[in-house]
Structure 1
């Protein structure tokens, strides 16, 4: 059991992932994104992409949040760079592995 816990802690620190992404990032997503993308990222309302299937790299996700795309509004004036990073990190947790 200790080995599993140590492995998880090493993975968490190595990837930079923390439960913080599930807090602020999730709250930001629910407030700004869930209306079109759905709470699970799969809704696709108004042409919104299915975030569960997204393969965009981190920089592309951040740029789309910051600058918007098509009907999606830009958030660079509404969110701080830190909030955009938290939101981007949370969005990546919505991805489903390809079968």
Structure 2
């Protein structure tokens, strides 16, 4: 049974499967992240990365949200796994496509 469930879980996580409210990622981002990253992802206060230029894959984005990095706090006690996926998906919408 584990042989089936573990790959299925990884596939769902990697594809951004979510049962959260539509738009919840944007709401959470605006409330918790925009202070440093800006509403458009480009602000960069306190060393926050420019999310418009980020090339991180989904799993790395979720990992940084969950665990934090340097001055960025961890959100694993504030967000559910679905909320982390919602915020990750929203962050990807802030990216500016490479020309």
Q: Could you state the TM-score of these two structures normalised by the residue count of structure 2?
A: 0.78
Q: How do residues 82-97 of structure 1 correspond to structure 2 at under 5 angstroms?
A: 82-97=82-97
Query: Which portions of structure 1, spanning 4 or more consecutive aligned residues, are displaced by more than 6 angstroms?
Result: none
The question of whether the paired residues in 1 share the 8 Å contact of 2:16 and 2:85 is answered with no
- RMSD of the TM alignment (CA)? 2.1
Q: Which has the larger radius of gyration?
A: 1
Unaligned runs of at least 5 residues, structure 2: 1-14
Give the total of aligned pairs.
84
Unaligned runs of at least 5 residues, structure 1: 1-14
User: Secondary structure, in 3 states, of the residue corresponding to 2:23?
Assistant: helix
Tell me which residue corresponds to 1:8.
none
Question: Shift of residue 73 of structure 1?
Answer: 0.1
Higher relative contact order (CA 8 A, sep 6+): 2
Question: Shift of residue 21 of structure 1?
Answer: 7.7
Tell me which residue corresponds to 1:7.
none
Tell me which residue corresponds to 2:53.
53
Higher helix share: 1
Distance 1:16 1:70 in 2: 25
Tell me which residue corresponds to 1:27.
27
Distance 1:27 1:97 in 2: 23
User: Secondary structure, in 3 states, of the residue corresponding to 2:73?
Assistant: coil
Offset from partner CA, 1:8-44 (integer Å, 9 cap, x none): xxxxxxx779xx7861010000000000000000000
Q: Could you state the TM-score of these two structures normalised by the residue count of structure 1?
A: 0.78
